[in-house]
Structure 1
Amino acid sequence: MVALWNTAYVGLVESMFAESTSDGSVDFSRLAAGYAVVGQAWRLLAADLAVPLWARHACAVAAEEFERRAHVEFSRVGGGGL
């Protein structure tokens, strides 16, 4: 699951970097999808019973934040959310 999270985060960072170096136009749908995938990876880690309770809680909080950010970015393109 950690490998899944790493892959998701790398994708998000790549999309953020691509947007920061572009011509000024931002592809919010790409950012939203990146945030959503990372949020989902955090959710999977939060559900892993092998992870200590405190760490699962931290993962759940992180998932909420990434899901919130995905919703914001989807709203910018008129998608309304997940």
Structure 2
Amino acid sequence: MLRPSREAVARWNTAYAEQTNAMFAAAAAGDLAAVQRLAVSYAAVARAWRALGGELAVSLWARHACVIAAEEFERRAEVEHARASRMELDEDAP
């Protein structure tokens, strides 16, 4: 049985660890930098899922699961980017 490359797995592990840390940091309300970090980390996890799904050694059903996971993390990144934008607007308001 073939396995995904170590590089793809390592990239996913690193991205997911950062996303988890960023998620806990962003739990504090009102921390714009933490929310921006979370948005970036969600996008990194999405890219890592896409990289894993692109590995030829990954079975077809697992590739499909990777695509679905990537789409979910892309959606989360968009939500957090929007939240950060709202926070920036609130900071600029008089």
TM range (shorter): 0.7 to 0.9
| Higher fraction of helix | 2
The structural deviation recorded for 1:78 is 2.4
Render the CA deviation track for 1:25-72: whole Å, top value 9, x for unaligned. Answer: 233211100100000000101111110000000000000000011011
5+ residue gaps, structure 2? 1-7, 87-94
Aligned pairs (5 A) from 1:3-82: 3-20=10-27, 22=28, 24-26=29-31, 27-78=34-85
Amino acid at match of 2:55: D
How large is the Cα RMSD of the aligned pairs? 1.5
Q: Which moved more, 1:9-18 or 1:61-70?
A: 9-18
Q: Which moved more, 1:10-19 or 1:48-57?
A: 10-19
TM-score if structure 1 supplies the norm length? 0.85
5+ residue gaps, structure 1? none
SS in 2 for 1:56: helix
Q: Distance in 2 between matches of 1:35 and 1:5?
A: 11
Runs (4 or more) in structure 1 with deviation over 6 Å come to none
SS in 2 for 1:77: helix
| Sequence identity percentage | 55
TM-score if structure 2 supplies the norm length? 0.75
